[in-house]
Structure 1
Amino acid sequence: MSLRSILKTALLMATTASAGRTLFVGSGKGTIKSYEFDETANAQGLMKELASTAESSPAATWQTIFGDLLYSVSETSVPVDGVVTAYQIGPDKKLIKKGSAKGTPSPVSLGVGKGGKLVISASYAGGGVDTFAADGSGGLTHSQKFAYTLDKPGPVPDRQEGAHPHQAIMDPTGEYVIVPDLGADRVRVYCANSSTTINELESIKTPDGFGPRHAIFYPVGNPKATHMFVVGELANEIMTFKISYAHGQLKAENIAAVSTFGTQSVPTGPPAPTAAEIALSPDGKYLYVSNRHDKTQANGTQDSIATFRVYPDAKLTFIQLSACGGISPRHFSITKDGNWVAIANDGSGNISIFRRYPENGTISSLPIVSTANDGASCATWYEPKVEYS
């Protein structure tokens, strides 16, 4: 190897090792902020705010990143139209608004289809699902609207008085869209029959009062899913479904359910605890769920994250409940190398970053850093083609 190659490699390694990680945090107060997290800095310099925008007001409660585009919701109140906005992520991590489109009121989640030409929103209070055609540069055009009503309230009438779609995600094939509907006790299924539109298929029923909020497919990185995990906000349970693909349909068989508190008792409140986010580790060996309003941690001052071991047959074994660094962990995400977990605690208005140990899946008992962010709702790592030494 030439001296020039050696110096170039050394410089690249030094740059990679010293580069901070970027975290985007959407807030129920309307802001989206970018932060630099430097794990090599001292305790006073771990978290640095880089930029902020309020163009997704009044409530930027969800964002999804696709390439160098960040798509955000404006979670409006009914009957005000919801808005989906596309931003380009600049080199300085500032967000540059590129386009927006209106849809059903109160969008709370966004999914992006294979190839980036389809954006799907789930609207909780608005009771609907919308699709948008995306041009890949930030331009958005509203395509479809699916509106849902219920014949009668569900068994939890104060939360299931109507349909409440809560998430939109693609399956690993990119051919199907999944939308858990908390109000209807169903997981709605759609076929992405073109690059910009979807077609509704037979939905997946969950037990009455389960309140499906979010879902994730297993295993990680496979071209097809064998299983799907669904977290029930109202039942505080994780339901495991066996997935099959046949004749243009995605089918799911309910095979198991475990408490989001594992082997520990479910707190009674008030307020009653409500499960929120669900995620798999990058290697697919561990599953995590956030519990809101349980206050089982830090002498009753913090809520929890539950950790489960995932076996190849999708069986879950409880490992631990750990502190989330605040109250009401609405969302969290894990870095690609599996070393860090960022948690958005909207109840206490802060972001906490915890060390994660990939060898056993556990999360540290104390955050390495916590910073105030009023209404913090969604914390998403931005790691485009990044390798950490």
Structure 2
Amino acid sequence: MKSIVAFALVLLLSISCKNPTTTTMSQESGEYTFLVGTYTDSPGQGINILHFNPSKNLLEVNLLSPDVQNPSFVLAGNDGKRVYALEESAGVKGGDLLSFNLNKETNSLQLLDKVTSYGDHPCYLGLSPDEKLITAGNYTGGSLSIFEIQPDGKLIHKQTIQHTGNSVNPERQESPHVHSTVFNPEGNRLLVADLGTDKIYNYAINSENEEPLELKSELALTPGDGPRHLKFSKDGNTVFLVQEMSAMLEIYDFKNDSLSLKQRLSLLDEGFNGAVGAAEVRLSENDENVYVSNRGDANTISVFKKGENGDYSRIQNISSGGLMPRNFNLTKDGKYLLAAHQASNDIVVFERNPEDGTLTLTDWKVELNKPVYLFQLPN
């Protein structure tokens, strides 16, 4: 256990490249680096980089790129040098999609291209396994766009697909709201979760075509569920879907271009009565554990474990350590989980039990304006 004295030495400094926000604690482990997407309230805010090195007693955030408006989703290619982000905004042609080169030595991003997303308020980016295509899900626009990535980082618009329809909640589902666009491991299918229509859309991908996307099937879900984020298993045969409005985890077989429901699991403890807002779903490296965050009045992270028969069961509901855990991520070695809180303006660290995947909140904590996405970079 880390001592109360060590906890009292936590330093929370104002965020800037010269004056990073830093927390120091004591723990032996490796070094981890994350891109941090945020919602911005001033021009001096934007994309951040987080360094976590327990052996050096370091949890630190630096500003990478100011003057990027609401970069609520940010990711990088496999080598960590090419970074992609969005600006969750609205305009004549929608929000924006940006590409950068990352210089870790100088903690800086060089802008390569900035193009419209062809839909209002993009909220999700999907990068193909071969890193030649990138998709943007436009939430209020109710559409998805796909771009070809050039070797120099330029982004060429290939296609925009507009969804139509609605569902049963007149306040949240009055029109389509594309919330995630996820490539399968082979890179030949794209699953799209639409909160507004309560559907998952399955698109075939052929990069040789002028318009790469072709709708193969769509699956209608329980009315009012509000599908949000999804993840594929390593082999691509299983899909894990978080239902935002009903706080459910659903697990599907995905074979022969067809989704079939295997399990529907609640994130809520018995007797819970309050607002919900399930947000992110993540998998452990071996798919043995599934983790899901829930906002609203819950502010929890649920841990699910795979049983001998292949089914999953919830083994833990733990406080996320803050308010509105919109996003979280596991370190690639599975030792830690970092949770970002939009409402309490902080990122906290959990230790993960390697035996069963359960979480224990540590004293590591760093302050940052409205962090809403975490992407781990390679070392």
TM-score by length of structure 1 reads 0.83
C-alpha displacement of 1:363? 0.8
**Distance change (3 Å), C-alpha of 1:214 and 1:314:** farther
C-alpha displacement of 1:55? 4.3
Partner of residue 362, structure 1 = 358
Is the CA contact (8 Å cut-off) linking 2:48 and 2:63 kept in structure 1? yes
**Distance change (3 Å), C-alpha of 1:327 and 1:283:** same
1:348-376 CA-to-partner distances (Å, cap 9, x unmatched) read 11111211122210111x23411111111
**Alpha-carbon distance in structure 1 between the residues aligned to 2:170 and 2:75:** 31
Partner of residue 148, structure 2 = 133
Aligned residues: 342
1:169-227 CA-to-partner distances (Å, cap 9, x unmatched) read 11122100011000101011111111682222211221111111011112x3x3xx222
| Aligned with residue 65 of structure 1, among 56, 59, 76 | 76
Q: Which runs of 5+ in 1 are unaligned?
A: 1-16, 296-302
Does residue 286 of the first structure (1) align with residue 289 of the second (2)?
A: yes
Task: Look up the SS of the partner of 2:297 in the other structure.
Answer: coil
1:7-32 CA-to-partner distances (Å, cap 9, x unmatched) read xxxxxxxxxx9863211111011511
**Alpha-carbon distance in structure 2 between the residues aligned to 1:331 and 1:313:** 30
| Aligned with residue 133 of structure 2, among 108, 118, 135 | 118
Task: Look up the SS of the partner of 1:166 in the other structure.
Answer: strand
C-alpha displacement of 1:251? 0.8
Partner of residue 9, structure 1 = none
- Aligned residue type for 1:22: T
Is the CA contact (8 Å cut-off) linking 1:74 and 1:107 kept in structure 2? yes
**Distance change (3 Å), C-alpha of 1:305 and 1:18:** closer
Over the residues paired in the alignment, what is the CA RMSD in angstroms?
1.9
Does residue 99 of the first structure (1) align with residue 113 of the second (2)?
A: yes
| Aligned with residue 94 of structure 2, among 54, 74, 81 | 81
- Aligned residue type for 2:273: T
Partner of residue 260, structure 1 = 267
Task: Look up the SS of the partner of 1:40 in the other structure.
Answer: helix
1:249-294 CA-to-partner distances (Å, cap 9, x unmatched) read x211112201022xx226332xx11100001011211000001023
**Alpha-carbon distance in structure 1 between the residues aligned to 2:296 and 2:190:** 30
- Aligned residue type for 2:277: T
**Distance change (3 Å), C-alpha of 1:342 and 1:266:** farther
Does residue 336 of the first structure (1) align with residue 332 of the second (2)?
A: yes
**Distance change (3 Å), C-alpha of 1:159 and 1:313:** farther
Partner of residue 8, structure 2 = none
- Aligned residue type for 1:359: E
Q: Which runs of 5+ in 2 are unaligned?
A: 1-27
Task: Look up the SS of the partner of 1:329 in the other structure.
Answer: coil
Task: Look up the SS of the partner of 2:129 in the other structure.
Answer: coil
**Alpha-carbon distance in structure 1 between the residues aligned to 2:89 and 2:102:** 24
Partner of residue 185, structure 1 = 198
TM-score by length of structure 2 reads 0.86
Partner of residue 11, structure 1 = none
Does residue 174 of the first structure (1) align with residue 223 of the second (2)?
A: no
**Alpha-carbon distance in structure 1 between the residues aligned to 2:243 and 2:91:** 24
Task: Look up the SS of the partner of 1:163 in the other structure.
Answer: coil
Does residue 351 of the first structure (1) align with residue 347 of the second (2)?
A: yes
Partner of residue 317, structure 2 = 321
C-alpha displacement of 1:166? 0.3
Does residue 380 of the first structure (1) align with residue 375 of the second (2)?
A: yes
**Alpha-carbon distance in structure 2 between the residues aligned to 1:107 and 1:76:** 7
Is the CA contact (8 Å cut-off) linking 2:61 and 2:366 kept in structure 1? no
Is the CA contact (8 Å cut-off) linking 1:62 and 1:73 kept in structure 2? yes
**Bigger Cα displacement from structure 2, 190-199 vs 136-145:** 190-199
Normalized per residue, the structure richer in strand is 2
Is the CA contact (8 Å cut-off) linking 1:163 and 1:184 kept in structure 2? yes
Between the aligned residues of both structures, percent identity stands at 26
Task: Look up the SS of the partner of 1:202 in the other structure.
Answer: strand
C-alpha displacement of 1:114? 2.8
